Structure 1
Amino acid sequence: MKTFDVIALGELNVDLILNRIAGFPEVGKEIFARDMICTLGSSTAIFAANVSALGARTAFAGMIGRDAFGELVRGSLEARGVDTRYVIEAADRATGVTVVMSYGEDRANVTYPGAMEALRFADLDPEIFLSARHIHLSSLFMQPGLLADIVPILRAAHDGGATVSLDTQWDPAEEWRIDCREVLPLIDIFMPNEAELTALAHAASLDEAIGSVRPWLRRAMIVKRGSRGSVLVTAGGECREVGALLNREAVDTIGAGDSFNAGFIRCFVRGGSLGECQDAGNLTGAISTTAAGGTGAFADREAAVRTARERFGKQLNLD
């Protein structure tokens, strides 16, 4: 028996989210934002909080500073039922912070990485790879230590009997230094969005990007396309395109992709088909847009189920 359904491995920071901003910032000038939220941030943490809210036994492995933001991160994870026994506190580094300037469906982010940059494979408790049914990694390009050690991490996960998903997220340096031929065969579910995949594959179109990476897929890739839905690609070459469940009154789209990941992986670890997982991801991504911040719509399991039914006319199957 595995202790956890899912262990999320990756970056931890707080999000300072600014909404209703009067234009774009300019050097030497000041503008106002009329709404502000300070909350649990980072793609991996949003994923962990939401997959836990959806009923998966979840733990987190990452690094924070010994500071007030670190306390907020740990407390927020634990309040969502996420076990933090594998979260490391660094006495010499501060917890990361992302300032999010939200403009409708778009946003501009500025991140101070802090402790997340320092985490390496050697820092991780080996028990992580034995206690998880599934390990999810995200935001590799913001974590140079984990990026450098990605192959031994993935091999340790599979040696421990865990399946693995990866959402690389955007590369701030736009260098995309990852060897798909080496890494993707070690990933069960690869989870980029369209812009990330085309950049990673150095492709001019989505079709070209899919064709470029498909030979290296271990099992499947799900490509998130925002308001255009998602495309599921299997290692055998099958493609399934599903349109988005659009929310015409979206509060914001922060964390929608991470919430998609949470719904997909929650379905995956309970044995759902890949098509069922894709549908679950589309639905939880849409649910995320009904509240502010990446975790606001997932206060608990019942709230998510109710939103799915009342706002989108869908049944969110979690059992």
Structure 2
Amino acid sequence: MSFPLFVAAGEALTDMVVQDAAQQNWASLTGGSTWNVARTMAKLDVPTAFAGAISKDVFGDALWRASEAARLDLRFLQRYERAPLLAIVHRTDPPAYFFIGDDSADLHFDAAQLPEGWRAHCKWVHFGGISLARQPLAGKLVALAEQLKRDGIRISYDPNYRLLMDASYDATLRRMTELADVVKVSEEDLEGLFRTKDIEGAFATLRSWNPDATYLYTKGGAGASLHIGEHSWSQAAPQITVVDTVGAGDASIAALAWSMMHRADATPLQHLQFSVAAGAAACLGAGASPPSLADIHNLTNL
């Protein structure tokens, strides 16, 4: 039996996005930051799974079909007779949203029900998003990350700040940073997570919790930097015509993981260039559009 080499664990949800506020017209879109990371890695031709739980209704059906279309290992996707997790995006510019998900299916994810033996084959597991801010799911995922760390499996973590990550999230932020081999964070994340305008001070605090980790610090259209120990590298974003930025951060951390998994001889700058190009490539399509290897290579000299 084959197993995935990469797993993203967390939330898959439905974005309910307002199309016409006056008429109350809405569009439903499949989403979730960790789910998007899994789809990106699968698009890069890595055997991949999304480990999470979805509902047994029309919203869950759509997520199941999209996961199947993305070639994710469906043995890791659990389904429960519970309500769906919804993100209600009631304004798009600037974005304004809230979540509906009391006792929803995602909270009932059970790591013990994942296929037996999967950890022996897995090389990398990604965590992040609102799944780590929603109990009891958050506790289950932190416990899974701790087990994976003991097993020697690489861990990446993208907190991906959302409004529900208040002071009650602080302990999880620190613990997941301590466990991670790679941490991805943005300027907006740092401001929200640390509740401060001192962005560089917040980044220094984050790094102090795990000085041995690799940190991908994304800065939107300004590109990104990679930090390892006392060394850092910067890369400007390629000049492109942006359709939208949905899923760009998810593509960038997935691409960094891909590069570190598949190009052990690459320099840190080359890893960063690949990551930044992937984030830019994701902005060339509408919605969360995972880039292919060809899309990424078109935007980089690698």
Q: Does the 8 Å CA contact 2:89/2:98 hold for their aligned counterparts?
A: yes
How far residue 188 of structure 1 moved from its aligned partner, in angstroms, is 0.3
Q: Distance in 1 between matches of 2:294 and 2:80?
A: 38
- Listed as ranges, the matches of 1:1-319 within 5 Å are 3-18=3-18, 30=22, 38-91=28-81, 93-100=82-89, 103=92, 106-113=94-101, 114-119=104-109, 121=111, 124=114, 127-139=117-129, 140-176=131-167, 177-179=169-171, 182-217=175-210, 218-234=212-228, 236-247=229-240, 249-270=241-262, 271=264, 272-295=266-289, 298=291, 301=292, 305-306=294-295, 308-309=297-298, 312=299, 314-315=300-301
* Compared CA separation, residues 95 and 32, structure 1 to 2 (3 A): closer
Q: Does the 8 Å CA contact 2:36/2:288 hold for their aligned counterparts?
A: yes
- Name the amino acid aligned to 1:228: A
How far residue 208 of structure 1 moved from its aligned partner, in angstroms, is 0.8
- Name the amino acid aligned to 2:178: P
TM-score, normalised by the number of residues in structure 1: 0.81
Residue by residue over 1:17-45, the C-alpha shift from the partner in whole angstroms, topping out at 9 and shown as x without a partner, is 456x6xxx5xxxx2577xx7543211111
Q: Which moved more, 1:134-143 or 1:280-289?
A: 134-143
How far residue 190 of structure 1 moved from its aligned partner, in angstroms, is 0.8
Q: Does the 8 Å CA contact 1:184/1:216 hold for their aligned counterparts?
A: yes
Q: How many residues align?
A: 294
Q: Distance in 1 between matches of 2:9 and 2:33?
A: 10
Give the % identical residues. Answer: 21
Q: Distance in 2 between matches of 1:280 and 1:18?
A: 34
How far residue 213 of structure 1 moved from its aligned partner, in angstroms, is 2.0
Q: Which moved more, 1:285-294 or 1:201-210?
A: 201-210
- Name the amino acid aligned to 1:199: G
How far residue 120 of structure 1 moved from its aligned partner, in angstroms, is 5.2
* Compared CA separation, residues 151 and 16, structure 1 to 2 (3 A): closer
Q: Does the 8 Å CA contact 1:154/1:164 hold for their aligned counterparts?
A: yes
Q: Which moved more, 1:170-179 or 1:251-260?
A: 170-179
SS in 1 for 2:136: helix
Q: Distance in 2 between matches of 1:56 and 1:164?
A: 16
How far residue 12 of structure 1 moved from its aligned partner, in angstroms, is 0.9
Q: Does the 8 Å CA contact 2:274/2:296 hold for their aligned counterparts?
A: no
Q: Does the 8 Å CA contact 1:165/1:187 hold for their aligned counterparts?
A: yes
SS in 1 for 2:37: helix
- Name the amino acid aligned to 2:138: L
TM-score, normalised by the number of residues in structure 2: 0.85
Q: Distance in 2 between matches of 1:230 and 1:64?
A: 33
- Name the amino acid aligned to 1:96: L
Q: Does the 8 Å CA contact 1:288/1:294 hold for their aligned counterparts?
A: yes
Q: Does the 8 Å CA contact 2:185/2:218 hold for their aligned counterparts?
A: yes
Q: Distance in 1 between matches of 2:52 and 2:117?
A: 14
Q: Does the 8 Å CA contact 2:157/2:176 hold for their aligned counterparts?
A: no
- Name the amino acid aligned to 1:41: G
How far residue 60 of structure 1 moved from its aligned partner, in angstroms, is 1.3
Q: Does the 8 Å CA contact 1:60/1:82 hold for their aligned counterparts?
A: yes
How far residue 169 of structure 1 moved from its aligned partner, in angstroms, is 1.4
Q: Distance in 2 between matches of 1:281 and 1:147?
A: 27
Q: Which moved more, 1:64-73 or 1:267-276?
A: 267-276
